[in-house]
Structure 1
Amino acid sequence: MTSPREHASPLLTEPDRETAVQRLQEAYAEERISREEMDEGLGHVLTAKTRSELESALASLPDEPPGATATIAAAGGRIVRRGMWRVPRNLTVASAFGRVHLDLSRAVFEHPVVDIELQVGTGRARITVPRDAVVDVEDLHTGWKDLRYRPGRGSRSGGPTIRITGTMGFGRLKIRHARR
């Protein structure tokens, strides 16, 4: 039997709240919501105590334009994303030569499913996912070295699903769950 604590929504952090406020303001600036809808949403966001309350406050926002995909690309060198950053629904990461490090442990997920397409020629890639994330790597093709990934123990429901696809050429991809 599971305890009530396991199903409790995590408490909000100030960066989570700030990102939600920014998202409402952007929707208003892009004329996807009215001034009244923004004011009502801000009221809910500013009084929310848990992530589930925050998500329900943002649920009425219209979807972002379909096909919106962010791309991070470099011919050589490093690609690094860490800290508080907003993860788009579709993310393409392309690196011909170099290292890739995506730290999603403190990232803000606005979508329950995120698709990350890797196009890495030569070099290593490391992805740190949230503790409660579910990772799908079935459509990832590795060339020279095998993937290093051990699914998290007892992954809790409520975390994002991260689907990693694409190709790793002559390098290794290491995926791990955050410890905190």
Structure 2
Amino acid sequence: MSERRPELRIGDRERDAVASALQDAMAEGRLTMEEMQERLDAALQARTYADLDALVADLPIDPPSAALTSPRPSDPRLLRAPGSSVEDRLVLDAGWSSVTREGRWEIPPFVRINGAVGSVRLDCLQATTRSDIIDIEVIGNAGSITIVVPQDWSANLDRLSAGWGSAKSKVAAQPSRGAPLLVLHGAMGWGSLVVRHANWFDRRRLRKQGILLDPPRRPELGR
């Protein structure tokens, strides 16, 4: 077995994996929002495995540098961050509880959201993406799903069946130049879904972190 060597350089895949683990830790109540945000900022600046190891040292997960001495998985999809292909979507499953993705993170091109009987909040206000189109498969069940997007992002719900539930978009259906389009498809079941821009509470929360969003558009476009 080779030496771990935590001084080795990392790439975006390792940073993204730690960012995902930190967000999961906050959702589980292991970190406060402030602690998660501070560690996410550090993860974005990390250069070595040692930098990332320090960010998860008090969490019940393997340190990132452990991958250096672990056998490489036979499935090449496991070497990529989830969401890079339609066969391996980033999954946000509420179960009986709640799942939140927010802060600085990169939203992949393929996502699956399952509201189950809980709630899912997909906050893209500080997110980045490399994709012009973000394919979101929705399984509403009886849960609630909220997607918050920046002013220039858009969403198309034409392929999403509301069923006995509800699905509403309060954002433009056509993207601005250079901005991504969220294409939602699937079925809501008994659940509810809303896609919207930042509200007063979102702006107030971010202002406390020193983050100012673009002013809201008037009038607000909707579906």
Normalised by the size of structure 2, how large is the TM-score? 0.48
Matched, 1:156 2:176: yes
Deviations 1:101-160 (A, max 9, x none): 111111111111111111121121111112111211111111223322223499632111
Whole-Å Cα distance in 1 between the matches of residues 146 and 182 of structure 2?
A: 14
Change in Cα spacing, 1:122 to 1:148, as seen in structure 2 (3 Å) is same
Matched, 1:130 2:150: yes
- The alignment-based identity, stated in percent, is 26
After TM superposition, give the deviation of residue 66 of structure 1 in Å: 4.6
8 Å contact from structure 1 (residues 128, 175) kept in 2: yes
Matched, 1:139 2:128: no
Structure of higher RCO (CA pairs closer than 8 Å, 6+ residues apart)? 1
Deviations 1:30-65 (A, max 9, x none): xxxxxxxxxxxxxxxxxxxxxxxxxxxxxxxxxx96
Matches within 5 A, 1:12-51: 22-23=11-12
> 1:109 maps to what in 2?
129
Normalised by the size of structure 1, how large is the TM-score? 0.59
Change in Cα spacing, 1:65 to 1:143, as seen in structure 2 (3 Å) is closer
Aligned partner letter, 1:157: R
Decide which of 94, 117, 122 is 1:97's aligned counterpart: 117
> 2:39 maps to what in 1?
none
What RMSD in Å do the two structures reach over aligned CA positions?
2.7
After TM superposition, give the deviation of residue 165 of structure 1 in Å: 1.1
Whole-Å Cα distance in 2 between the matches of residues 82 and 72 of structure 1?
A: 12
> 2:96 maps to what in 1?
76
- Contiguous gaps of at least 5 residues in structure 2: 1-9, 16-82, 200-212, 214-223
Whole-Å Cα distance in 2 between the matches of residues 133 and 123 of structure 1?
A: 24
After TM superposition, give the deviation of residue 25 of structure 1 in Å: 8.0
> 2:25 maps to what in 1?
none
Change in Cα spacing, 1:139 to 1:79, as seen in structure 2 (3 Å) is same
SS at match of 2:189: strand
After TM superposition, give the deviation of residue 172 of structure 1 in Å: 1.6
After TM superposition, give the deviation of residue 84 of structure 1 in Å: 0.9
Change in Cα spacing, 1:65 to 1:170, as seen in structure 2 (3 Å) is closer
> 1:178 maps to what in 2?
198
Whole-Å Cα distance in 1 between the matches of residues 91 and 136 of structure 2?
A: 10
SS at match of 1:87: coil
Q: Which moved more, 1:66-75 or 1:116-125?
A: 66-75
After TM superposition, give the deviation of residue 177 of structure 1 in Å: 2.2
- Contiguous gaps of at least 5 residues in structure 1: 1-20, 27-63
